[in-house]
A = this chain, B = another copy of it.
């Protein structure tokens, strides 16, 4: 007699295969689920293995488009970077994978979900919080090489040992990358890339998945987006992470540029704070929380006029912005130019400065002259 159905996030690897067998032996009907978010994987081999190990059903789900559209695009809009450096590749994949797992569990009438994430990783938290939020049941297993980037936890002596070269799967070593740059033109609408064109050869992509995959390809070819960092995990520990996020890095730079070009500076200042909040929430596993919903809504609102084209070159691990244009630009050439008068009257500037100085002069008068050298 079955103890019930369990949906297991299955990778085809040793860990989750063991979990599969163990769950079966415990008397559960095991449904395996493998999400395709762009990782390099033999999905059919995994299916056969799962079946041979006794899975009642096997789901292999192509989530690539919804991963890019529903999870990566909001991160691009947010300029999402955790602790100034990490582009949240793994962190945005977890809620995407867990969301489908929970949908399968509901549909199949399974009361259990299972995963193989270790207790110390952030991924356990991200997975489980998503599951609890969307369907109140249990444990989920994880796999890690995904479309957006590849991460490796390297619990080694952090100083002397550099990351081994073969750790990187998506990006060329910049030393070995081509000496000729690719020049790309990326077009944005509402803060999201809608088209990329390679100015060298005219190749062009215009679906979410194609655009992102192509940027991964070009970025990877030029060694863009490798980082070796020590990060602060949610649970309060520091750990070293080696990440590669080629397409995400190209997009971050391009989006920053078109956003600054088209968005009012004071709106951007508020939005910048919301973006930092978004990054923390996503890193910590709270994608499906009321506050993250709220922040995503506000950020999306801020992107309404983030529209236009950015030209950039990619070479030897670097992305260089070459120029930008937009129908919604706040950049007023006449205003900036020295020769043409817009609303700006140079005489007003002196009054502006003196009014700003009223407070400073009062303050320093009060402090006495001691502050001159402080």
Chain A interface residues toward B at CB < 8 A: 79, 83-85, 99, 102-103, 118-120, 124-125, 128-129, 132-134, 136, 155, 157-162, 174-175, 179, 181, 226-232, 235-240, 256-257, 260-261, 264-274, 276-277, 280, 286, 288-291, 293-295, 297-298, 301-302, 309, 311, 315-318, 320-325, 328-333, 335-338, 342-366, 371-372, 374
Contact = CB atoms under 8 A, between A and B. Distances in A.
A124 B353 contact: yes
Contact of A236 (B181, B227, B270, B358): B358
A79 B276 CA distance: 15
A354 B286 CA distance: 13
B363 A354 contact: no
A343 to B, nearest CB: 5
B236 A132 contact: no
B316 A237 contact: no
A133 B230 contact: no
Given A132-B361, A294-B270, A332 B277 contact: no
A72 B6 CA distance: 52
Contact of A357 (B128, B274, B277): B128
A337 to B, nearest CB: 5
12 contacts: A136-B361, A155-B337, A231-B260, A232-B268, A264-B359, A266-B290, A266-B359, A267-B291, A271-B294, A272-B276, A290-B363, A343-B358
B268 A333 contact: no
Identical copies in the complex: 4
A230 B229 CA distance: 29
Given A129-B356, A317-B320, 13 more contacts: A85-B256, A120-B338, A128-B357, A136-B357, A158-B261, A236-B358, A270-B277, A270-B295, A273-B276, A290-B360, A330-B366, A343-B357, A343-B361
B298 A237 contact: no
A230 B276 contact: no
B228 A322 contact: yes
A352 B284 CA distance: 12
A107 to B, nearest CB: 11
Given A318-B317, A358-B343, A134 B371 contact: yes
A338 B232 CA distance: 17
Given A103-B372, A229-B321, A318-B318, A346 B155 contact: no
Contacts of A99: 372
A342 B119 CA distance: 13
A366 B343 CA distance: 14
A270 B338 CA distance: 36
Given A294-B267, A316-B316, A349-B235, A325 B159 contact: yes
Given A269-B280, A353-B124, A335 B301 contact: no
Contact of A360 (B181, B289, B363): B289
Nearest to A294: B267
A197 B349 CA distance: 46
A290 B364 CA distance: 8
